[in-house]
Amino acid sequence: MKRLFLAAVALAVTAACTGQPAPVASEVFTTARPTVAQAARDFFGIRPAPRQPLAFPHKRHIEKGLMCTDYCHESATKGPIAGLPSVKTCMICHDAIATDRPLVQQVASYQKSGLDIPWERVYGYTHAAHVRFNHAPHLRASVECSTCHGNIAQQTVAERNIDLNMGFCVNCHRQKNAPNDCLTCHF
């Protein structure tokens, strides 16, 4: 029995590390996760790289003078979640600007079909981390977006460039003389 369990865990870890589904369909391993592979990925903190439906050109928009919180992530200044832009947000400008470009035409097709763009979050904490992050106080403290998200101005599609682990956050709080007690970030 122990060998069978170890074999299942080895399969799950291999699947989790490669990002591929486990080769053998598994029964429900736990009430918390539908498969052993998902449980192993969560346990080891392995997150797949997000695959965006469109290659949003962050660099081009920033070069044009738009700031992250102008339209696309405007809720970051008001609360905990930066938010992901809806197709309506994109079409505020692109109803008239660069309408001949293929990428803008793809955005317009989402609008015509009545669907929102299915963006995937790039950053975020797992529920198990018990982290309560709020963008608004960080922006009020003049923490640049690039501090936590890397130099988005040099990226097309947003990528996870910075490992937002506890050490990273604690060091930043120390440097900025921000509160550093556990309940500042954890619930």
Q: What is the pLDDT of residues 75-118, one digit of tens each?
A: 898 888 888 999 999 999 999 999 999 999 999 999 999 999 99
Q: What is the pLDDT of residues 28-79, one digit of tens each?
A: 444 577 888 888 887 787 778 888 999 998 888 988 898 888 889 988 988 8
pLDDT at 139 exceeding the cut of 70: yes
Assigned token pair, 22: 């486990």
How many angstroms separate the CA atoms of 39 and 17, rounded?
A: 12
Q: What pLDDT, on the 0 to 100 scale, is given for residue 3?
A: 56
b/e burial code for range 68-77 (CB count within 10 A of at least 16 → b) = bbeebbeebe
Q: What pLDDT, on the 0 to 100 scale, is given for residue 173?
A: 95
In contact, 154 and 59? CB cutoff 8 Å = yes
Residues near 39 by Cβ (< 8 Å), separated by ≥ 6? 12, 29, 30, 32, 33
Q: How far is CA 163 from CA 45, 123, 159, in A?
A: 11, 9, 11
Q: Minimal CA–CA distance to 128: which of 39, 22, 21, 37?
A: 39
How many angstroms separate the CA atoms of 147 and 178, rounded?
A: 15
